[in-house]
Amino acid sequence: MKPLLAGAALALFAGAVAADKLVIQAGKILTLAGEEIENGVILIENGRIAAIGAANSIETPWDATVIGGPEHVAMPGFVEAHSNSGMDRTNENIDVAPFLDIRDSVDPVAYYFEDCLRWGITTVNLQQGWNCVVGGQGMIVRPHGMTVEAMMMRPTYGLKLSARPKSGKSRATQAQALRTAFGDLRRYLEDLVQSEKDERGFAKREALFQGRDLEGEKSEGKAMTGKAWTVAGLELIPRGAIDEKQAPLLDVVEGNQTIYFECDRAMDVDTALSIARDNGFLEKTVLVVDADCWEAFDAIAAAGVPVVLDGELVHMHRDPLSGEETEKFAAGILAEKGIPFALTSRNSSTQSLWFQAAKAVGFGLDREDALAAVTSSPAAILGVDVGTLETGKLGNIVLMTGDPLKVTSLVDHVVIEGAHVYDRSKDVRNKQLLDGTQPSGTQAEPTPTVAKDEE
């Protein structure tokens, strides 16, 4: 029964076509960039928001598709700032593997992406898991499309580093392995330059043998531009001749790649920041922290790096002297210290980011901060053109049946870059789950066997 179902679901999700002009009507628009608009209209042209405002101020083009209505609340699509889902596995077993690319691992028909639409998530930052020293390169995707290429918003974006010990390592050996990775890179580059000066040309020979082309941009050498350390004479080496195992880390040291640094405890934050400083990529660092790290939030504020709060919102702190237990609400402390942060849906029971936001409000975070933490803040961290509803931004919009922080609200429609990709009334799996109706053509097996299984 399953393959049939998946096929039907695919047909629904793939069937959406980007209309040239799309008009969204809503009883209320949460722009997250200023005032809320009552009874508003959003006009999307060629994937971007062309106009947004009150219904009477915008003329609906005669050839536009219209969705929504006064019963809907429109808001920017949710942005998942960090996720390891949608892959077959989250990590390779090799400690240092920056040459891996997550695109080889992503499965476009994974239920995860389908669920993302159900929960109104329109942008996902896919990164490797924490069980590594240096992980592979991630990417930003839209959770919609038949192929990985169709989903891709930004390929080879982000690299996972972990201060949280890989299984089998202690915190000390993990920190050493991280430092060694960058030390090895430096030694490799120095050897490369030396061999070039000695006219041995090892790098070029190796590259040519492996069939890597050294044409165009790749045939030229460039001086190294690291902020913390550089290797003189790197301009002698064509960029294409640099070992592809090392090239991604060179990108990091040169400040061309964003780092997602995983931290599990407060002391990990110090390790992560010191390695980022030593290798000049502090400005491109995003810390992926757990609520346990709350003691290090001062250090994070001083370093001025943004944070993805992954996992629990609250840390149960036990005072070592009195044995008293207090709840430390991590998102609240982050907001108080002025650290830019995003929430993720990990460890919530669903993929629902608005559930996390609502939980944060329950713990005392401001409504604006909570909503920003699942839309505009992650968008700013990722540097993508989404997260608020303004003219010129990408047309990623969610239409909900009510206020997003209300538990009774549901996602009715999802629009990604002007394409109407989700409509709850046509959600086959949802319907089956709630109504028990079978999609046509899927009643292949008789039902009594199910009852038998249960016994």
Partner 1 sequence: MKVSTQLLALAAAAAVAASTPTAQSVAIRAGTILTVENGRVIENGVVLVRDGRIQAVGADLEVPLGAEVVDYGPDAVLAPGLVSAYSDDQGSRSTDRAANPMLDALDGYDFYAKNYALLRGGVTSTYVVPSNGRLLSGLGAMVKTFGDTREQRIIGSGIALHGAIDKSARTTPGYWMPPIPATVDVGIGYAVEQLPKTTMGAILGLRELVALGRTGAEAPEWGLGVGPALARAMEAKLPWRISAVEEHEVRALVDFAKSAGVVVVIDKAHGAKPVAKAIAAAGVPVIYQVPAWGSDHGKDEDARWPDYSVPAALIGAGARVAISSSTPTRLLFDAQLASRGGLSPEAGLRAITLTPAELLGVSDRVGSIKAGKDADFVVLSAHPLQGGTVLATWLDGALAWAPDYEADARRAAAEKKNERISQVPYPTIVVTADEIHVGDGTIIAPGEVLLRDGKIGAVGRRVPRPAGSEVVHTSCLMPGIIDARGHLGLDGSSKVPSLDFDLKQIMAPGDLVDQRVALGGVTTVVMAPRGDSSRGAPSIAYKPAAQERQVVRSPATVQMQWADDNRLNSGKAVRSLLEKGKSYKEKWDEYHAKLAKWEPSDEEDAITEAAAESEEEEAAEDEPKDDKKKKKKKKGDPELDPDPVTGRWIADAKNGDAKFRLKLVPAEGSGDVEGNLRAPSVSDELVELTGSWNRDEKKLLASGLGSKGWVQVDATLQAIENEAKEKVWKLVGTLTAGSTSSEFTADRTSKDYPVAGRSQGRPVKPEVAKEPKGKPREPRLDPGMEPVKDILEGRRVLVVTVSRGDEIVDCVTACSEFGVKPVLYASSGLYSVASRVASKLGGVLVNSADARTEDLQARGVPLAFYSGMEEGTIDLALMAAYSVQRGMSPDGALRALTSDSAKLLKIEARVGRIAQGLDADVLALDGPPLAPGTSITRAWVNGREIVTE
If binding is defined by CB under 8 A, does position 180 make contact with partner 1?
yes
Which of 49-57, 191-199, 324-332, 381-389 is the region at the interface with partner 1 (rule: CB under 8 A)? Answer: 324-332
Select the residue interacting with partner 1 from 5, 10, 267, 301 (CB under 8 A). Answer: 267
Taking the C-alpha atoms of residue 74 and residue 37, their distance in angstroms, rounded to an integer, is 10
Number of CB atoms found within 10 A of residue 167's CB: 9
3-class state of residue 386 by DSSP = coil
Q: Which of 265, 284, 393, 413 binds partner 1 (CB under 8 A)?
A: 265
**Cβ distance to partner 1 smaller for residue 177 or 286:** 177
Applying CB under 8 A, does 337 fall inside the site for partner 1? Answer: no
Interface residue with partner 1 among 35, 63, 199, 324 (CB under 8 A) is 324
Residues 406-445 that bind partner 1 (CB under 8 A): 406-408
Residues 210-239 that bind partner 1 (CB under 8 A): 210
Stretch that binds partner 1, among 70-78, 220-228, 280-288, 318-326 (CB under 8 A): 318-326
Taking CB under 8 A as the binding criterion, the range among 16-24, 115-123, 217-225, 262-270 that sits at the site for partner 1 is 262-270
Closest separation in Å from C-beta 316 to partner 1: 9
* For partner 1, the closer CB: 91 or 271: 271
Return the CA Rg of the chain: 24
> Residue 199 or residue 325: which is nearer to partner 1 going by CB?
325
**Per CB under 8 A, 302 contacts partner 1:** no
Is residue 42 a contact partner of residue 29, using CB atoms and an 8 Å limit?
yes
DSSP 133: S
> What is the helix, strand, coil percentage profile of the chain, to 5?
35, 25, 40
Q: Which two tokens stand for residue 346?
A: 């990990």
What region, left, alpha or beta, does residue 255 occupy, with left being phi > 0 and alpha being psi -120 to 50 degrees? left
Helices (H), 289-389: 297-303, 330-336, 353-362, 367-372, 376-382
Q: How far is the CB of 270 from partner 1 (least distance, A)?
A: 7
Amino acid (1-letter code) at residue 353: L
Q: Which is nearer to partner 1, 46 or 350 (CB)?
A: 350
Distance CA 208, CA 154 (A): 29
Contacting residues for 187 by C-beta, under 8 A, at least 6 apart: none
Task: Spell out, one character per residue from 112 to 151, where the chain touches partner 1: x when CB under 8 A holds, - when not.
Answer: ----------------------------------------
Tell the smallest beta-carbon distance from residue 324 to partner 1 (Å). Answer: 4
With CB under 8 A as the contact rule, the residue among 127, 271, 279, 388 that binds partner 1 is 271
Closest distance between partner 1 and the C-beta of residue 300, in Å?
Answer: 13
- Touching partner 1, residues 73-112 (CB under 8 A): 94, 97, 99
8 Å CB contact between 28 and 43: no
**CB of 70 or CB of 362, closer to partner 1:** 362
List of residues 6+ apart from 335 with CB closer than 8 A = 341, 365, 366, 369
Q: What is the DSSP string of 408-451?
A: T--EEEEEETTEEEEEGGG-HHHHHHHH-PPPTT---S-SHHHH
Q: Select 63 or 435, whichever has its Cβ closest to partner 1.
A: 435
From the CB of 377, what's the least distance to partner 1, in Å? 25
Under the binding rule (CB under 8 A), the answer on residue 209 touching partner 1 is yes
Other beta carbons within 10 Å of 124: 29
Closest CB 176 distance from partner 1, rounded Å: 5
Strands 419-423 and 411-416: antiparallel
Q: Which is nearer to partner 1, 11 or 94 (CB)?
A: 94
Stretch that binds partner 1, among 115-123, 231-239, 260-268, 302-310 (CB under 8 A): 260-268
Residues 73, 410: contact at Cβ < 8 Å?
A: no
- Under rule CB under 8 A, residue 184 binds partner 1: yes
Which amino acid is residue 291, in one-letter code?
A
Token look-up 């009552």 returns 38
| Residue 198 binds partner 1 (CB under 8 A) | no
Q: Is 171 in the site for partner 1 (CB under 8 A)?
A: yes
Q: Select from 10-18, 250-258, 316-324, 336-344 the region that touches partner 1 (CB under 8 A).
A: 316-324
Rule CB under 8 A: say whether 364 interacts with partner 1: no
Q: Does 321 bind partner 1 (CB under 8 A)?
A: yes
CA distance 21 to 176: 55
Nearer to partner 1, 65 or 432 (CB): 432
**What is the β-pairing status of strands 48-54 and 37-45?**
antiparallel
Task: Give Cα 245 distance to the centre of its chain.
Answer: 24
Please say whether the beta carbons of 376 and 387 come within 8 A: yes
- For the record, the structure tokens of 142 come out as 């839209």
Binding site for partner 1 (CB under 8 A): 94, 97, 99, 165, 168-177, 180, 183-184, 187, 206, 209-210, 245, 265-267, 270-271, 295-296, 319-327, 406-408, 454-455
